[in-house]
Structure 1
Amino acid sequence: MLFRNSFILLCCLFTSSAFATRWFEIEVLIYKQRPAPYLQEDFSLKHDEINAKNKLDLLTPALEEQARQACIEGDTRFKSNSFTDSLVSNSPHSNVCDDSVDFLSSYTQLPVTPSVKFREDTDEIYLIASSDLQFTEQKNQLERKGLTPILHTGWRFPEMSQSRAPSIRLFAGEHLQSEQSTTTNIDNDFISLVSPTQQYIPDTIQSAPKWELDGLMKIYVRHYLFINADFDISKRLETGDYEKARFSQFKRVISNEIHYFDHPRMGMIVQIRRYNH
C-alpha cells in the first residue's frame, strides 16, 4: 500500500512538472544606423498604422515612474506648470510631482534603458532590471563604431500560442511632437478666434509621430519560437515634415542564440533565453 501511494504521488509530480508553463526572457537592443548619403530606399510609401487587438505596454509605467522619481529629486524637466500649482507651491522653484504632470510627454529624449526594480515572479509579464541585461559588450561595440543605441531592455514572459501572446509596444528616441510644437509657427490671431476647447492645430502637428521609434513586437511558440516585429522609424525633414520608414520582420528563432535584424534606418539585436524562476 505504501509503495502504491508513493508511486501515485511520483506520477502526479511528474505530470505537474511536465505540463508546467515554460518561461522565457528576451533581451532587445535597438540602435540607429548611420546616415547613408547614397541610400536608394524610397520611404515615401504610406503604410497602415501599426496596431493589434492584444497589446501590452510595459515601458510607459516604468518610464513614468522613473520620471516621477527624477521630479521628486528636483529634475526641472518633470514639473507641473499650472497656475494653481504655482499658487500652492512654497517656492517658485519647487516641483509638483503628482498626476497633474504628463511625465511621459515631458521627456525630450527617452532613457535608453528604463529603470525598474528587480523581479522574479510568475504573476505577469514584466520588464527585466538593467542588472540582468547581458548585451553590455554588444552595446559598447555599437558605440565604438559610432552607432547610437536608443533602446536596451527586456522582459520575461510565459510560453504562449500565436493567438494568446500579446504584442509588446516598444518606443524610443526623441519626442518628436514636442520638437514640432516648439518650432512650428502658428497664427496667434487666428487662435484667438477659436474657443480653447476647439483650438486650431495645423495638420503637420496632428500627423506628427510621437516618438522616433514606435511599434509592436510579438513573441509566440508554435513548436519553435517566432518573432514578429513592426516598427516605424521617423525623422524630421528640413521642410518640417516627417518621414516614416517601416521596419517589418518575421523570423523563427532558436533560444539562446543571438539574432540580428537589419534595416537601412535601424538595427536590432535579440536573444531569447529559457528562464527558470
Structure 2
Amino acid sequence: MTAWLRTSLIAFGLAISTAGFAQENPEDWRWFEVEVLVFKHTETADIEEFPWHPPRQVEVANDPLSEFYAPNFYGLLHDIPKCPDSEQRLQVRPVFCAQANELDPFAEPWYQPERILSGFKHAPATVINGFGGDMTQSTGPYLLAETAHTFNDFREQLERRNVGTPLLHVTYRIPVFNRSANNKVRLFGGRNFGQSFLPSGYEQPPFAHLDAIDDTSDSEPQLFEELEILLDQVNQNALNLSYRDHRTPNPPPLLPEREHSERPTPVWELDGTLHIYLVGNYLHIDSDLELRSPQKVRFNQRELPAQLEQALQVERITSQFLRSYRLNQLRRVISHETHYFDHPQLGLVVQIRRTDLSARR
C-alpha cells in the first residue's frame, strides 16, 4: 500500500470516528427549535384522483406527544405504600397504594401510552402547551410552551376564513444529526378512528355475544328473483363485469368477533413523522404525514362470482374504508424562514430556528 493511500485511509477513518463521537457526545449536539402547524383543507370536490392507501402504523423512538398526553407516573408507584393483602386486617386502609404486580420489574410494563390514548375520541389538544426543558440536560426532543408559537395569526386566519381546520400546532426543541441517525419525530392529532376502524383501514368487526336479530319478515330471494335483479342492473348499465383491477382495496379479511373488554389501537386522523437532519451545514426537512378520512368504497372484486354476489348485496359489500392521503416531501431549507408543504388534502407549515446550541462545535 502506498504512503498516500494509507494516509488517506487513516484520515478518512479519523473523520468518521470523530463524526460518530461528536454525535454520541451530548455536549456536541446541535439543538434547533422547530415550530409545526398541520391543517386539513376545507372539503372541496375531489378533482385529482388518489390511490386507496391504507393507514400505516408509526413507530419511532421520539414520540413526545404520547408522553405529553399520557405521562409516565411509574416512578410515583415507588413512593406510595404497597397495598395490603386481602386477608390482612387494617384499621386504616391507604387511599393510594401500589399492587404487587405493579412493582414487579419482570411483569408486563405498567406504562402503556397507546392503551391510555385508545380511550380518547379526539386528541386532547390541538395547540400544544408543553412543559419545556433544558437543552444541556435533555436526551431527546421536548415540547415548548405555547408562548413559543409564532404561527398563531396564521392558524386563526385559517379558521376565521374557513380555509382549513388546524389539526396540530406544536413547537419543540430537538438535537439535529445527519440523515443516517434517523432521528424522526412522530406527530399526530385530530380524531381517533380506533373505535370504528382497524389500523389496516377496514371497519372494526362486531362485538361478540351480541343477541342476533330475529328478522323473519323478509326471506332470502330465490334464484329467479336474483336473476331479475341482475338483469335489471344490466338494462340500467349498472352491472359491469370485468377482470380488471378497479384500484380500490380488496375485500376485508374474515376477522373474529371482538371482546367488549378489548382496547382498540388508536388510529389518528393525522399521523406520521417529521425528520429534520443536516447534510454538512444544510438543514433538510423530510415530511411523511398521513391524513385519514372515512369514505364509502366498493371493494375490488376480480372474480366473476364474487362480482355477482357484490351486485346482489350492495348494502353489505359497499362499506366504509379509512382512506389515507400521504404528504411525503423532502426539501433543503434555511433556518428562520417559514416553509410551506402543500397537498390537496392537507398543509404543513414549518419553521426551524437556531438556539444557543445550534452552532457547529
Change (3 A) 1:44 1:209: farther
The number of equivalent residue pairs is 220
Structure 2 counterpart SS, 1:137 = helix
| Aligned equivalent of 1:169 | 186
Structure 1 counterpart SS, 2:156 = helix
Q: Is the 8 A contact 1:191 1:199 kept in 2?
A: no
Structure 2 residue 173 is matched with structure 1 residue 156:
yes
| Aligned equivalent of 2:269 | 212
Q: Which stretch has the larger CA shift, 245-254 or 163-172? A: 163-172
TM-score, normalised by the number of residues in structure 2? 0.53
Letter in 1 for 2:187: L
Structure 2 residue 272 is matched with structure 1 residue 227:
no
Alignment of 1:1-277 (within 5 A): 21-45=29-53, 49=56, 55-65=61-71, 102-110=115-123, 111-122=125-136, 123-124=138-139, 125-146=141-162, 147-180=164-197, 186=206, 188-189=208-209, 200-201=257-258, 210-222=267-279, 223-238=281-296, 239-276=319-356
Letter in 1 for 2:61: K
Give unpaired runs (5+ residues) of structure 2.
1-26, 73-92, 96-109, 213-254, 297-318
Change (3 A) 1:42 1:99: closer
Change (3 A) 1:50 1:175: closer
Q: Percent identity?
A: 29
In structure 2, distance between residues paired with 1:175 and 1:187? 19
Change (3 A) 1:208 1:60: closer
Change (3 A) 1:145 1:189: same
Change (3 A) 1:163 1:191: farther
In structure 1, distance between residues paired with 2:274 and 2:51? 21
Encode CA deviations 1:8-44: one digit per residue, 9 max, x unaligned: xxxxxxxxxxx95432100000001111214222232
Q: Is the 8 A contact 1:64 1:103 kept in 2?
A: yes
Structure 2 counterpart SS, 1:56 = coil
- The alpha carbon displacement at 1:248 in A equals 0.5
TM-score, normalised by the number of residues in structure 1? 0.68
Q: Which has the larger radius of gyration?
A: 2
In structure 2, distance between residues paired with 1:139 and 1:51? 26
Q: Is the 8 A contact 1:226 1:250 kept in 2?
A: yes
Q: Is the 8 A contact 2:194 2:266 kept in 1?
A: yes
In structure 1, distance between residues paired with 2:37 and 2:191? 16
Give unpaired runs (5+ residues) of structure 1.
1-18, 67-87, 91-97, 193-197
